[in-house]
Amino acid sequence: MKFPSLAALLLPVLAVTLAVKSPAQTAQTAMLVNAPTPSEAVASAHPGEAGSSSSALGVYPVARPQFQEKTPGMGFLDWSMIGAAAALRVLDYTSTEKALAEPQSFHEAMLPQALVENKPAFAAFEAGTVGLNYAAYRFLVHHNKRSLARASQYVYVGVMTFQVSHNYQLLGNAPAN
């Protein structure tokens, strides 16, 4: 597996950095939650009653909206992108295994040869990568960073698609003498 740059390795670090809330955002949320509520006297007087001072001022009590927290769930697009990433990892594994059968036309550039030549360790590495990708995606979705999760997944799938297609293209070419 060969990446054009180390940018793909730095994406999880960027994702975790952006997932942390800033102090300004936390302070703004606290101000909104701790906003004063209308007094019971104003709320009990109906607008238009003779003794109501709010009707003379044109002030009418408004019911406080109830905050309903949406549970962050995974939709069809989320699962399809995770499935595409997992399928690309399987294709990367099979292309590397096929390339090991033809060592004259292919050499692993990114991973150590000892890892690639050890089939159980290489399969565990690919499965661990799929698991880490899933966990990072779920972490971002759980912390309401779905757009960041999807953007990083688009980049990940794009890089892996390029790499897998490059591997299979190398396997289709005759070795250069």
**126-164 per-position pLDDT tens digit:** 999 999 999 999 999 988 899 999 999 999 999 999 988
Residue 167 lies in a domain: yes
Number of separate domains in the chain: 2
Question: Both 34 and 82 in a single domain?
Answer: no
Looking up tokens 């595409």, which residue turns up? 84
Per-residue pLDDT at 18: 61
Joined tokens for residue 93 = 């594994």
Residue 60 is which amino acid?
Y
Which residue would you say has higher pLDDT here, 125 or 110?
A: 125
DSSP, collapsed to helix, strand or coil, labels residue 13 as helix
Q: Which of 68, 98, 124 is the last residue of a domain?
A: 68
59 and 143 assigned to the same domain: no
User: Is 2 inside any structural domain?
Assistant: no
Q: 7 in a domain, yes or no? A: no
The label of the residue with tokens 């408004």 reads 62
Are both 49 and 29 inside the same structural domain? Answer: yes
Q: What does pLDDT average to over the chain?
A: 76
Asked whether residue 88 is domain-assigned, the answer is yes
Token pair recorded at residue 78: 């989320």
Give the amino acid at 77: L
Same domain? For 126 and 160 the reply is yes
pLDDT, residue 123, reads 93
Rounded to 10 degrees, the C-alpha dihedral 28/25/153/117 comes to -150
Q: Is there a domain that residue 79 lies in? A: yes
Residue 8 is assigned to a structural domain of this protein: no
Residues 58, 82 share a domain: no
The three-class DSSP label of residue 66 is coil
Spell out the alpha helix ranges (H) of the chain.
7-19, 23-33, 40-44, 53-57, 76-101, 113-117, 119-142, 146-172
When pLDDT is cut at 50, 70 and 90, the band that residue 75 belongs to is confident
